[in-house]
Amino acid sequence: MVHRPVSGVRLDYLLLKYLHVIGAIVLLGTGTGIAFFMLMAHRSKDAAFVARTAGVVVTADMVFTATAVIAQPVTGYGLAEMTGVPLWEGWLGLALILYGVAGVFWLPVVWIQARMRDLARDAARAGRELPPAYHRLYRIWFVLGIPGFGSVLTILWLMIARPAL
C-alpha cells in the first residue's frame, strides 16, 4: 500500500499539530516518570535518596511539565482556530474542562513535592528517618496524582478519538 501526503494540508497546521502532540507526550511522559521515581524513592525509606530524587522531580516539573502546560493551550487554541472547531463544544470542551481539573490537582502537587524534598533533606542531614509530615504529604501527593493524571489520560483519549458528545 502506497501512502501519499494529504493534499491541501498546510505546513503551519502540521507544525502546530506536531508541537501539540509533543506537548502531550511530554505531559504524559514526565508525569509517568515523576510518579515512578517518587514512588521508588519513597519505598526505599532512605531520606537522602528521597531528597535527591524529589529534587530532580521538582526540577523536571518546572522544566518539562510547566513548559508543556503552557504550550498545550497555545497550540490547542491555534489548532481549533485553524480547523474551526468550537472551543467549548463537544470533546474539545470536555478536554478543556479536564485540563483545568488536571491543573487544579497539579499545582498543589508541585508545592508538595518541594516540601517533601525539603523534609527529606532535613532528615538526611540530621541522620533521621523521614518524619511523619513527609509521610502525610506523600499520601496527599499520591491521592492528588490520581485525578490529575487520570484527567491527562482522558484528554489524550479525547484528542485521539474525538467522540461526538
Supply the range of the domain harboring residue 78. 11-161
Nearest to 38 by CA among 132, 112, 102: 112
Is 92 domain-assigned?
Answer: yes
Q: What is the pLDDT of residues 76-94, one digit of tens each?
A: 999 999 999 999 999 999 9
Asked whether residue 53 carries a pLDDT value surpassing 80, the answer given is yes
Residue 6 domain-assigned? Answer: no
Considering its fold, how many domains does the chain have in total? 1
- Alpha carbon separation from 20 to 36, 41, 68, 148 (Å, rounded): 24, 31, 9, 19
Q: What would the grid cell of residue 136 be?
A: 502525610
The answer to whether residue 71 scores a pLDDT higher than 60 is: yes
- What CA–CA distance (Å, rounded) separates 165 from 77? 19
C-alpha distances in angstroms, 131 versus 15, 46, 69, 90, 124? 48, 11, 32, 47, 10
pLDDT score at 8: 63
Residue 106: inside a domain = yes
Q: How much of the chain, in percent, has pLDDT values that exceed 70? A: 95
What's the mean pLDDT when you consider all of the chain?
A: 93
Determine, yes or no, domain membership for 3.
no
Is 137 a member of any domain? yes
| pLDDT score for 117 | 98
**Cβ neighbours of residue 41 under 8 Å, at least 6 residues apart?**
49, 50, 52, 53, 54
Residue 5 lies in a domain: no
Instruction: Decide if 2 is inside a domain.
Output: no
Residue 3 has a pLDDT of 44
